[in-house]
Amino acid sequence: MKISSSTAIKYNAILLSVLFFLLSMPVTRLNGQCVKEIYPAINHSNDVVQSDKKETKKKKEKSKKKVKKEEPEQELIEEPVKSEEPAKSEEQEKPVRGTEKRKKSKSTGLSPKVPNTIVDTENEEEDSMSGILEWKVTLTDDNGNIKLPERYRTWWYIRLDGVSISRISTLYIEGDGFQGGTVVLPVYSYNNKYWHRLRPEDIERGEEKGGLYNYAVKKKFDSSTVWIARYYPYPFARLKHLIKKYEKNQYAKIENIGTTSFGRSIPMITVTDPATDNKNKWHVWIHARTHPSETSSSFVVEGIIETLLSDCNIHCRKADLTKLIFHIVPMLNIDGVIGGNARVTPETSYDLERMWVRRPDNHYLLADTIPNEIKAIHSAITRFDSENHKFFLALNLHGKNAYPNSRPFIYTNFKKENREYGTSGDSLFFKQLSFAKILSKYYCGDTVYVIPGFEIAQPMDEKRFPESWWWVNFKDSVMAATLETTTGINGCFEEWVTSRDQIKLGEALAEAIQKYYDYFIEKKWFRYETPETDLDKLMKFYKLNGN
């Protein structure tokens, strides 16, 4: 084919124009190759603000300032949950999507899930293809209430976008109530459903100031989007999924016993065999998640519920539902959980654990000024009691930031030969030690302890804990206690605890409650299962601390 000189001149002009255009474009070298520079745009779907390289100096300086998240009035958006059972190292979780991202000259990348978290990016990397390399999270007090103890700063849960998958990323944590790497080993997820523990070598310890700790997470991630949390999250969405799973189960009755301060319903699950008469059954009370950051208590409750309603239990009666009725409030401080608080309720900053304020003229009743959440569970308990239902055990489930090799433990306000509380106090102390021994048998052997509670010198009838209300009104007839599960290196497993371990603790609790009933209510047991009656031998389960 022949091309005329005029045509050739036209083609050459076009080629020169294309070459000039290509040469005029900015290029970045990535892994030894020249690639087109991609300028980030605004991603409206995720509300992530991203800016290009032409951002003015004034905007850059503004983008580096710390910005505190404003909490939306409505609940966070919740995505569907997969029903598959994850492996031990990949814990199932319900995703909760945040609403705010930080502005940065290259990419935002960080979404806080808690309103008491200030976030910032420190990425100075010029290569926009390599992703963000550094973030900073600064913890503040719940509700901005500076009157709260700084040790309450124990929760953060964030999503990182634009993460580099080729280089190590660094997430700086500032102002945590406990030391990272020793007490705190965060978890991460690539889909906000299945979670993995970081390794101790991924944590770089920083300085301590006034009881607050700084540390850094340093890791090369395999995805450009990463969720990271201080511990395995258990949002309200997961509880709703659990309730929906059993709402038509014939052994479960689900009811709302009241509303939170923000008007949300407080669910209670009652589990028993409907085919047998309730008149002669004994009742168990369990409530959890008084403190929002203590997600481990929710995993324990889930383990209890799953065990009680399993086909195995219905047929094998590890917990005999023909004799027992379980009343379970899985999540008390729902507003605090949804609001992302660590310890207290939103706005009012109530620590619900210390709000069981009794009326001076009638200690069975509570003051009119107590929060809605306490009114709800107190009303439910007294309703059952007025119907002549017989309680014999009441558990208040919590989670604990504990130092390495700490075991799950029960708080007690009693001790050996404590004359202050008479024979009833001695009896309750004996029952608490016995329950620790029984639970140890089903969990991992001799590793559940009983330790002195807070303000041990203060008389029980002056305290405002739920166990104080039970003691004042029922003495030793109800074994009421706070059970704390730890989130660090557990003395039983000698490894970092996972949420699966805490679900297993819930399974063990269901069996232990049945055995406690056999010993102390029916007083029946097999000869080789004779309960321990020697207090001195039971004292090996009593420790001055959880280690």
Task: Quickly state the pLDDT bin for 22 (edges 50, 70, 90).
Answer: very low
Cα atoms found within 13 Å of the Cα of residue 332, Cβ hemisphere only: 31
pLDDT above 90 (res 180): no
Which position has the higher pLDDT, 313 or 374?
374
Q: With cut-offs at 50, 70 and 90, classify the pLDDT of residue 288.
A: very high
The pLDDT of residue 392 is above 50:
yes
Token pair 């405002």 is found at: 464
Name the class of domain 236-541. alpha beta
Residue 477 contacts residue 392 (beta carbons within 8 Å): yes
Say which amino acid occupies 227.
Answer: W
For position 102, what pLDDT does the model report?
A: 33
Taking the domains of the chain in order of start, what are their residue ranges? Answer: 57-229, 236-541
Say if residue 200's pLDDT is above 90: yes
Q: Are 119 and 158 in contact (CB under 8 A)?
A: yes
Average confidence (pLDDT) over 413-425: 87
pLDDT given for residue 121 in this prediction: 53
| pLDDT confidence of residue 89 | 33
More confident residue, 388 or 196: 196
In percent, the amount of the chain with pLDDT more than 90 equals 62
| pLDDT for 229 beyond 50 | yes
Q: Do domains 57-229 and 236-541 have the same CATH topology?
A: no
pLDDT band at 491 (very low <50, low <70, confident <90, very high): confident
Q: For 492-545, how does the pLDDT look when each residue is reduced to its tens digit (9 = 90+)?
A: 777 899 999 999 999 999 999 999 999 999 998 887 788 889 999 999 999 886
Looking at residue 187, what DSSP letter applies?
Answer: E
Q: Which residues partner with 67 through β-bridges?
A: 119
Model-level pTM?
A: 0.79
| Nearest C-alpha neighbor of 327 from the set 283, 379, 278 | 283
Name the more confident of 115 and 18: 115
Q: What pLDDT digit, counting tens, does each position of 36-83 carry?
A: 222 222 222 222 223 333 333 443 343 333 333 333 333 332 333 333
Pairing outcome for strands 134-139 and 169-176: parallel
Mean pLDDT over each residue of the chain, to the nearest integer: 80
Question: At residue 85, does pLDDT exceed 50?
Answer: no
> Is 57-229 assigned to CATH 2.60.40.3120?
yes
Q: Which residue has the tokens 């706005």?
A: 347
Instruction: Indicate if the pLDDT at residue 93 is higher than 80.
Output: no
Name the residue with higher pLDDT: 166 or 444.
166
Phi, then psi, of 104 in degrees rounded to 5: -150, 155
Long-range interactions of 43-51: CB distance < 8 A, separation 24+:
46/101, 46/161, 47/99, 47/100, 47/101, 48/101, 48/107, 48/108, 48/109, 48/111, 48/161, 49/101, 49/102, 49/103, 49/108, 50/104, 50/106, 50/107, 50/108, 50/162, 51/103, 51/104, 51/105, 51/106
Beta bridge partners of 226: 160
105: confidence class by pLDDT, cuts 50, 70, 90: very low
Using left for φ > 0, alpha for ψ between -120 and 50, and beta otherwise, residue 217 falls in beta
Confidence of residue 16 (pLDDT cuts 50, 70, 90): very low
What are the b/e assignments for 208-240, b being 16+ CB within 10 Å?
eeeebbbbbbbbebeebbbbbbbbbbbbbbbbe
Q: pLDDT tens for residues 332-370?
A: 999 999 999 999 999 999 999 999 999 999 999 999 999
Lowest mean pLDDT among 128-137, 164-173, 229-238, 406-415: 128-137
